[in-house]
């Protein structure tokens, strides 16, 4: 049952990516994905035994654009439209029986990044790889932070 929910959760992230196109209203996309997650959770957990499980949105869908660092989910009356070459970070989350799952991705509207935006995306990915290689028994937070800082320095960007 949980595996079925996982695949539907990934479908929510894929749907969010598909909706993030030039001219899309961020609040509409966020609302659509939140509704999708709730509907999918109801489908997956609809028998008598699972009706008692708590389930729902763990974190509202957030679409952060360019200089907005994270957790941006505008109200329905706030109209903010995605533009070509915007750097977009998508975050969403659901919870089942007290266990939360969050997912996210980053993309560029239109699929083509200007050089600096491409550097940011590459630095983020390679920093993630460097951090995961640094995390091991006996390592410290400072070692992981140093690995991230060195990677970002190579791309000429600053980590946040």
Residues 22 and 47 in one domain: yes
Residues 86 and 125 in one domain: no
Residues 121 and 58 in one domain: no
CB neighbourhood size of 69 (10 A):
9
Give the residue carrying structure tokens 């749907």: 15
Residues 104 and 117 in one domain: no
Q: How far apart are the C-alpha atoms of 93 and 13, rounded to whole Å?
A: 10
Note the pLDDT tens digit of each residue in 58-112: 889 999 998 888 888 888 888 899 999 888 999 998 887 778 888 888 888 887 7
66: alpha, beta or left, given left = phi > 0 and alpha = psi -120 to 50? left
Residues 93 and 56 in one domain: yes
| Cβ-proximal residues to 75 (8 Å cutoff; 6+ apart), any chain | 27
Q: Which domain holds residue 80?
A: 2-111
Residues 120 and 106 in one domain: no
Name the percent of the chain lying above pLDDT 90.
39
Contact 2, 98 (CB under 8 A): no
Residues 26 and 96 in one domain: yes
Task: Give the model's confidence band at 141: pLDDT under 50 very low, under 70 low, under 90 confident, else very high.
Answer: very high
Q: How far apart are the C-alpha atoms of 93 and 42, rounded to whole Å?
A: 15
Reply yes or no on whether the pLDDT at 143 is more than 90. Answer: yes
């Amino acid at each position: 049952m949980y595996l079925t929910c996982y695949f539907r959760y990934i479908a929510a992230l894929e749907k969010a990516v598909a909706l993030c196109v030039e001219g899309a209203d961020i609040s509409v996309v966020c609302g659509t994905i939140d509704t999708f997650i709730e509907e999918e959770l109801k489908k997956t957990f609809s028998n008598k035994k699972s009706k008692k499980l708590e389930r729902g949105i763990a974190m509202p869908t957030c679409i952060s654009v360019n200089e907005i660092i994270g957790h941006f989910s505008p109200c329905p009356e706030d109209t903010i439209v995605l533009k070509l070459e915007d750097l977009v970070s998508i975050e969403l989350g659901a919870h089942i029986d007290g266990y939360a799952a969050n997912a996210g991705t980053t993309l560029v509207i239109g699929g083509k990044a200007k050089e600096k935006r491409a550097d940011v995306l590459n630095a983020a990915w390679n920093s993630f790889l460097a951090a995961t290689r640094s995390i091991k028994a006996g390592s410290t937070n400072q070692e992981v932070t140093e690995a991230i800082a060195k990677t970002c320095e190579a791309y000429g960007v600053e980590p946040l």
